[in-house]
Structure 1
Amino acid sequence: MYKEVFSFFEENNIEYAVLNGYEELENIYDTAKDVDILIERVSFGNLRNIIHDMCKENNFSIVQILHHDVWAMDVFLYSHSQNQMLHLDFYAEVSSNGKYIYSTSELLKNTKNYRGFKILSPAHELITYFDKCIRKNNFSKEVLEKFGSLLFENSKASAELQRIFGEDASLLESIFANKDTDLLVDNIDVLKDKINQRKITARFYLLGEIKRIISRILKPTGITIAFYGCDGVGKSTVIEKIIRSQMPFRQTQYFHFKPLHARNTTEGNSSTPHLMGKYSYTKSVVKLFYFVLQYNLGWLKNISPLRVKSYMIIFDRYYFDIFVDQIRYRYGASDILLRLAGWLIPKPNISFVLVAPPEVIYARKQEVELANLSTQVYGYKKLAKNNDYYLVEANSSLDKVVKTVRTHILDQMKERHLN
C-alpha cells in the first residue's frame, strides 16, 4: 500500500520524505508501527483531499484521521482487497511544541532516493532523529548504531554535527562509534541545551493548537463498542483478539457492563449470577434509576475524555443486556420501565450480538440450563433485529468471527469519516 501512496505523490508533484524506519516498510502492515512522512506545508493544509483522491485511485478506504498536533496528522488507510491497514503519520514540520531545527523547505530540498521513495539526507536525518530520541529518552544500542551508520557513511553528516554541537561533536562521535549509552546519559543535559539553542519558535503555534484541541473535543475520534451474548459464546476471546489486532485508535480501554473502572457490584462479579433470586419490584426500580445515574456520570467522567483521546472503548455487556437476561441482573420490575430508562442511557457507537446454537454454548459452559440457554439465544437474536445491533454467528472459526467483527468496525469508521 505504501508504494501506491508514494507513487501518487510523485505523479502529482507532492514533495515528501520518509523520516525514519524506512528500512522496515515491508513489515509495517497490521502492526503498531507507523510511517513518519514529512510533506510541504501547502500539501499538509490540503492533506484530507490529497489522501481522498489517492484512496479513490487505489481503492483504499480512509478509516481514521487524527489531528494530534498543529503540524501532525495520523492517517489510517485500509485495503479490503488486501485486508491490510496502513498507518501514516504526516508532518508539516519536524518539530516539538512549535520548535524546530530545520524548516520543511530546507529538509525537502536535500532528499535522496531509497528503494523507489524519498528519505532525508543522512545529515538531516542524523540531527532530526537524534533530537527525537533525546526527547523520548530512547538510547538503545540499535539506535546508537543507526546514528553511527548515518554519521560515518557521509562527510556532510559529520560537518552538520559539528555545526550544531560545536566542540561537543567529537563527544557524540565517540558515543556513536562505541555505542556508549552511559556516556550519552551522563552528558544528555548539555546536548539537549545545545540542540535547543538551534531551534526556532514558530509563530501562531499556540493559536493553532487551541483551535485543534477545540475541534477534537467537538468531534471526538474515539469509538465505543459493546459486545452481547450468552456466557460461553466467546465474547471474551473475540474481545481479546480485537484488542490485540491493529486498529485505527491511540489505545484501548475495557469496561464490563458499566462505564466504571471498578466492578464492585454483584453483576459481572458473581460466578453464578443466575442462581441468585430477583430483587423486589421496589428495589429493582431503585436499582434501575441508579443504573441511569451510573451510566451518565460514568460516561461523562470516563468515556467522553477517552473518546476525545481517540481510544477504542470496549464493553463486555452493556445496559441493554438486561432486556435479554433479567435474571443475571436480578431485575424484578416491568419491561416498560427498562425501556424508558434505556432512552436515558448513552448508546455505544457499535453493538455486536454474538450467537451460536444453544447446544454448542452449553458444551462450552454449563452455567445455565439448556432450556434457559435456548431462551437467551432467542432473546439475543431478537435484540439483534434492531438496526443498532450487528449479529455475528459465533459458531464459525475464531479467525472468521474476529475478521467479521474487525471488518464491520472498519466499515463503520469509513462511513463515519465520509459523513
Structure 2
Amino acid sequence: MIHELLKYLHYKSLDYAIISGYKALFEETSDIGDIDILFKKQDFLKIETVLKDFCELEGFKIVQIYHQEVYAKNIFIFNPKTTELLNLDTYGKLHRKQTVYFTETEIFKNCLSYKNVSTLVTHQEFLHYLLKKIDKNEITEVSFNYLRALFLKETIPCERVVKTCFKNWSSVVVEAFETNNKDLLLESIETLKKNIKVNTKLSYDDKIRNQIRILKRIVKPTGVAISFLGPDGSGKSTIINGLKNKTLPFRKTAYFHLKPIITDRNSASLATADPHKYAPYSKLKSYVKLLFFIFQYNLGWVKNIWPAKVKSTLVIFDRYYDDLIVDHKRYRYGGYKSIAKLIRIFIPKPKLYFILTADADTIYGRKQEVEREELQIQIENYKALVDGKQYHHINANKPPHEIVNKVYKILMKKMYERY
C-alpha cells in the first residue's frame, strides 16, 4: 500500500520525505513496520482528508488515527481484501522535544531521492534517527552501525548538527561514532536524554491546537474494549493470544478477566475444575451481589479501562458480565434472570463481543467441567446473545488461525466504521 500512497502523493503534487527506513520499502522479506513520513506544515494539517481521498480511490480503509502531538499523527490504513495494515507515522515538523533543528525550506529544498522515493539529506536523517534511538533506549548493534554509516558519509555536517542539539555532551556522541564505540553511547544514554535541548515555548496557535488535541483524546479515545464469551473449552485463551500476536492498530494491549479490575492472578489461576461446585446464594444476597457488580464495573471502567482507551489500548476481556446471565450457577446467582438482564443496563459495555461456541460433543471432549446437558443449555444461551452488530458468533470448530482472522476482520470493520 505504501507505494500506491507515494504515487498518489506525487500525483497530488504533495511534498513529502520518508524520514528513515526507506530501503526496507523495497525489500520483500523485510518487515516494514511503521513508516515515518514528513509533510509540510500546511499539508499535514489536512493529511486526514488527503488519506481519506486516497483510501476512497483505492478501496482501503482508515482504521485508526492516533494524534500523539500537535504535528504528529499515527494513522493506520487497512486493506480489506488482503488484510494488510499500513502503519504511518505522519509529521508536520521534524523536531524532538519541541525543538526544530531544520526549517521546512532546508528540508524540502534539499531532499534526496532513493528509487524515486523522497528522503531527507544524510545529516538530517542522522540527527532525527539518533535522537529517536536515544530517547527510546534503542541503541542496538544494528541501529548504531546504521547511524555510523550516515555519520561517516557526511561527517562534518553530522558533527555540526550534534553540537546544536546537545547542551554540552556532543563530544561524547561524536567520539562514539569516530571510534566505533557503541558502549560509549550506552553508558551515557540517560545523561544524553536529559541533555537534549527542550523548547518549552509553544506558539499561541500551537497551544490551542494542543489543548484541542488532548480534549479529543479524552472525549473520543482511540482505544477499543472487546470481550470473548463462551463455555470452557471453546478456545477463548487460544484466540485471545492469537489476536494479540497480530499486527494491531493500537499502542498496546491489556488483558482483564471478567471484570475491569487489575489483578496479579493470571488466567490459568482463575480457571476452576468445578465451576458449579457451590450452591447458589439466596435471592437477597444475589441482588446485593448485582449491586456490587454495578459498583465494581463502573469504578473499574473509570479507573482502568477509560485511561487505557485514551492511550490507544486494545482492552481484551476474557468473559464479562453477560456470563452471569448465561451461566448463573458459576457465579452462584440465585435471583431472577430478568433482574440480571435489567442490571446489565448499568454495566459499561465493550465495543464488541465475540461469542465462541461449537457443538456440545466437541467442547465436552475438550473439557468436562460441567455436565453435557448443562453445556448444551449454555451454548444455546450464548447464541441467544448474538445480534450480528455488537455480539458476533464465532464457530469454535474452525482452526485457530481462521478464527483469529475472522475476529480480526470484524474488529477492523468496526474500527473503520468510526471514520
TM-score, normalising length: structure 1: 0.91
Q: Which residue of 2 aligns with 1:219?
A: 220
Task: Report how far residue 68 of structure 1 moved.
Answer: 0.7
Equivalence map 1:254-293=2 (5 Å): 254-262=255-263, 268=270, 270-293=272-295
Distance change >3 Å, CA 248–CA 180, structure 1 → 2: same
What is the rounded CA distance, in whole Å, between the counterparts of 1:283 and 1:168 in structure 2? 66
User: Match for 2:144: what amino acid?
Assistant: L
CA deviations 1:131-164 (Å, max 9, x no partner) are 223333332222221122112234xx52342365
Distance change >3 Å, CA 28–CA 176, structure 1 → 2: farther
Q: Which residue of 2 aligns with 1:408?
A: 410
1:98 and 2:98 are equivalent in the alignment:
yes
Gapped regions of structure 2 (runs ≥ 5) = none
User: Which stretch of the first structure deviates more once superposed, 274-283 or 386-395?
Assistant: 386-395
Aligned Cα root-mean-square deviation (Å): 2.6
Distance change >3 Å, CA 180–CA 284, structure 1 → 2: same
Task: Report how far residue 368 of structure 1 moved.
Answer: 1.3
User: Match for 2:298: what amino acid?
Assistant: N
The percentage of aligned residue pairs carrying the same residue is 34
Task: Report how far residue 410 of structure 1 moved.
Answer: 0.0
1:300 to 269, 292, 302: 302
Equivalence map 1:10-159=2 (5 Å): 10-25=10-25, 33-154=33-154, 157-159=155-157
CA deviations 1:286-316 (Å, max 9, x no partner) are 1111111111111111111111111111111
Task: Report how far residue 249 of structure 1 moved.
Answer: 0.9
8 Å contact 1:41–1:92 — kept in the other structure? Answer: yes
Q: Which residue of 2 aligns with 1:355?
A: 357
User: Which stretch of the first structure deviates more once superposed, 253-262 or 380-389?
Assistant: 380-389
Aligned residue pairs: how many?
A: 412
CA deviations 1:215-263 (Å, max 9, x no partner) are 1111111111011101001111001111111111111111111110127
User: Match for 1:390: what amino acid?
Assistant: H
Q: Which residue of 2 aligns with 1:165?
A: 163
SS of aligned partner of 1:179: coil
User: Match for 1:399: what amino acid?
Assistant: H
What is the rounded CA distance, in whole Å, between the counterparts of 1:331 and 1:163 in structure 2? 68
Task: Report how far residue 394 of structure 1 moved.
Answer: 1.2
What is the rounded CA distance, in whole Å, between the counterparts of 1:304 and 1:35 in structure 2? 28
2:395 to 387, 393, 399: 393
What is the rounded CA distance, in whole Å, between the counterparts of 1:282 and 1:211 in structure 2? 48
8 Å contact 1:28–1:34 — kept in the other structure? Answer: no
Distance change >3 Å, CA 225–CA 298, structure 1 → 2: same
1:376 and 2:374 are equivalent in the alignment:
no
SS of aligned partner of 1:86: strand
Distance change >3 Å, CA 32–CA 416, structure 1 → 2: farther
What is the rounded CA distance, in whole Å, between the counterparts of 1:31 and 1:376 in structure 2? 43
User: Which stretch of the first structure deviates more once superposed, 43-52 or 29-38?
Assistant: 29-38
TM-score, normalising length: structure 2: 0.91
SS of aligned partner of 1:212: helix
Gapped regions of structure 1 (runs ≥ 5) = none
What is the rounded CA distance, in whole Å, between the counterparts of 2:27 and 2:279 in structure 1? 54
What is the rounded CA distance, in whole Å, between the counterparts of 1:163 and 1:247 in structure 2? 36
User: Match for 1:256: what amino acid?
Assistant: H
